[in-house]
Structure 1
Amino acid sequence: MVDKKCVDFCYKYLDKVVRLCQQPKLNLKASPPYILDTIPDIYEKLQGITAKYEENYDILSEIDYFQIYILTLIEKCKQTINLFKNSKEKIFDIDSDARFRLVKLSLVYSHLLNDLEALFPQNTFVPSFRITKPNAAHWWVTNFGDSVIVSWQLFKNSLIQTFRIDSDTQLLALQTTIDITCNNYVSIFEFDVFT
């Protein structure tokens, strides 16, 4: 269960990431996915969702997807903060590994925003998200029922039972391609993007 205190921690972490990324010396390019646009958008979306559920917060806090989302977001914020802390001046070098990792995290935040918007249109949880391709939708429902998010392990096991996977390398490549939020879970939205 994700209580209001946990969501408040999430806001604090998001604020910290924005402050770190606003350093003029960082000289971020304002091209998509632009972390200084994405983080405030996530913040605003979360505020809209929590406001919508203010009278029934228990319902929101019991949604598995929301629990995993908040914990993932906090983890990605911690990862970003540690990147700044551990890389020190290297983060300001646009050709450094640290900068490459920051760009990758920007992409993850963008995917997190899109995922949240897909499953909470108008700030209300919609567990009936529709997968675009009928065969893919059938495969998801057959394997996961009405779940909107499953662990990578469960997803992988279902994948192996249905399709021929030749190697661990191929599995890792699939995970990298499908788990675009890099949290060891696959949401129905991520699966739809993949298919």
Structure 2
Amino acid sequence: MATQARTVRPPRWVSAPRSMEKALQGLAKLQQLVSQPRLGLRNSPPHLPYLVPQAYQHLRLIQEQHGAGLAQIGDGGYLPVFLTNLQEKIKQTTRLFKREKEEIFKEGSTARRNLTKLSLIFSHMVAELQALFPEGQDQGSSYQLHKPEAQSFWRETWGTRSLVSWAEFREGLHRVHPVEPGAMAVALRATIDLTCSGHISVFEFDVFSRLFQPWPTLLKNWTYLAVTHPGYMAFLTYDEVKDRLQAYTKKPGSYIFRLSCTRLGQWAIGYVTENGNILQTIPQNKPLFQALNDGHKEGFYLYPDGKNANPDLTELTEAVPRNRIRVSQEQFELYCQVGSTFQLCKICAENNKDVRIQPCGHLLCRGCLDAWQMSGNAISSPCPDPEFEIPSFPPRTNLPRQKKVPNPDYQSGSSAHWVRNRPLPRLPQECPPGSVSWDVPAPPPIHEGHQEPQQLGR
């Protein structure tokens, strides 16, 4: 009896070019839906009329950069998963328009809230794609995580891979940070998987490790801040924070916090001031629990989501004891005696320093400088130019001083620099929906940290 030949499907990554074309076609149709004037989407991140063209243009760039080799770059696993997930999110959004034909146009409806959540997911997907494929080139294997411990963990566990399944990720993370099964594992996946793909990318883990730093207490910080804290708001936008806090304008000190959608890896805290205004700020250079503790001491962050019970986060601020270096009296005296050598050139140890190299500011003697230049090694300065460093977030210095609320836990001398961060302004609505052209690069979305001088007090 003859047997019918079984069709063998090619590996999933071989269909990458076809998946790319489907995704591009879906994005073009989606742009028509979200650009309807009647929809009246606010020009505020995440803004779908901007995000959809950005996704389209970046995928086109990847397509142009790799050409016939597009199928090969899918072998690593990221691109097929991304394209499959993108097509699914396009279908979900399209179904929302079909099923909620009238509700989708009503501000504040459940359908609009679902559309906003999908907008956030699209925002995360675009950010991830641009981070792993800068200039259209696949750089996922060399992506550098911001935290050294997270970088070491990912590369030692998964090597050059830029994406792993949730099951793989959970198993790997469990070796260094035990993950409780059941509800906690489900909650952890919901927090890390920003693109809702069922996979964890190196970019998503980078964002997670930055949000819930420091590394030694990563999951403990996450539990305190994202699982049990009433002030944490998942999938909330800038405008929705303002709307939610409107109910607490007569209760100064009310606050909530969320992931910044334009500065992934950073937090945005919205709070009600003493005079009833609503400000949103991004803490700089400190873990979230430290920013919340500092704000509590100063009387700014008192009532999470308007609730009277404010979680105690002091346990998270307890520093791990560090080993101290001890020196003997003899060693100390010897150290004091070397002060006279500080003016000597560190290269020859004979002549005094009399030349300063710009822009790094290093000092050496004229003889060593001349010898270095003659050797041909002075092609470029080995020191980075400090003027090319990214400037720090500008301080907020022109706001009226808020009245402190007495707090028994307050200790004089504690840092209050957190309050000088600029507030996030009301976002303008100058660009009408649908004004973005497919033929030119989409203008960047309005970032949450941008300021208008007249709005600094808001």
Task: Normalising by structure 1, report the TM-score.
Answer: 0.93
Indicate yes or no: 2:155 matched with 1:141.
Answer: yes
User: Which of 69, 79, 84 pairs up with 1:71?
Assistant: 84
The one of 112, 136, 155 equivalent to 1:99 is: 112
Query: Cα 1:151–1:100, aligned 2, differ >3 Å: closer, same or farther?
Result: same
Counterpart selection for 2:36 from 23, 40, 43: 23
2:27/2:52 contact within 8 Å kept? yes
**Computing the radius of gyration over CA atoms, which structure comes out larger, 1 or 2?**
2
| Structure 2 partner of 1:128 | 142
Change beyond 3 A, Cα 1:68–1:166: closer
Q: Distance in 2 between matches of 1:37 and 1:115?
A: 16
Deviation at 1:31, TM superposition (A): 0.2
- Cα distance in 1, alignment partners of residues 24 and 180 from structure 2: 42
Distance 1:16 1:35 in 2: 13
1:164 and 2:161 correspond:
no
Deviation track 1:112-132 (CA, whole Å, cap 9, x = no partner) reads 111111111121101210111
Question: Which structure's relative contact order is higher, taking Cα pairs within 8 Å and 6+ residues apart?
Answer: 1
Asked if 1:33 is matched to 2:46, the reply is yes
* TM-score of the aligned structures, taking structure 2 as reference length: 0.41
Q: Distance in 2 between matches of 1:57 and 1:3?
A: 7
Measured on the aligned residues, the alpha-carbon RMSD in Å equals: 1.5
Structure 2: which amino acid aligns with 1:191?
A: F
SS of 1:26's equivalent in the other structure is coil
Secondary structure of 2:38 counterpart: helix
* Residues matched between the structures, number: 195
Deviation string 1:125-164 (CA, Å, 9 cap, x unpaired) is 0121011111111211232222100011111122233323
Q: 1:85 to 1:164 in 2, by over 3 A?
A: same
Q: Output the CA distance in 2 between the equivalents of 1:172 and 1:68.
A: 20
> Residue 6 of structure 1 aligns with which residue?
19
Q: Which amino acid letter does the alignment assign opposite residue 181 of structure 1?
A: T
| Match for residue 58 of structure 2 among 45, 61, 68 | 45
**d(CA) in 1 for partners of 2:202, 2:62:** 19
Separation in 2 of the partners of 1:39 and 1:116?
Answer: 13
Counterpart residue identity of residue 193, structure 1: V
Segments of 5+ residues of structure 2 without an aligned counterpart are 1-12, 210-458
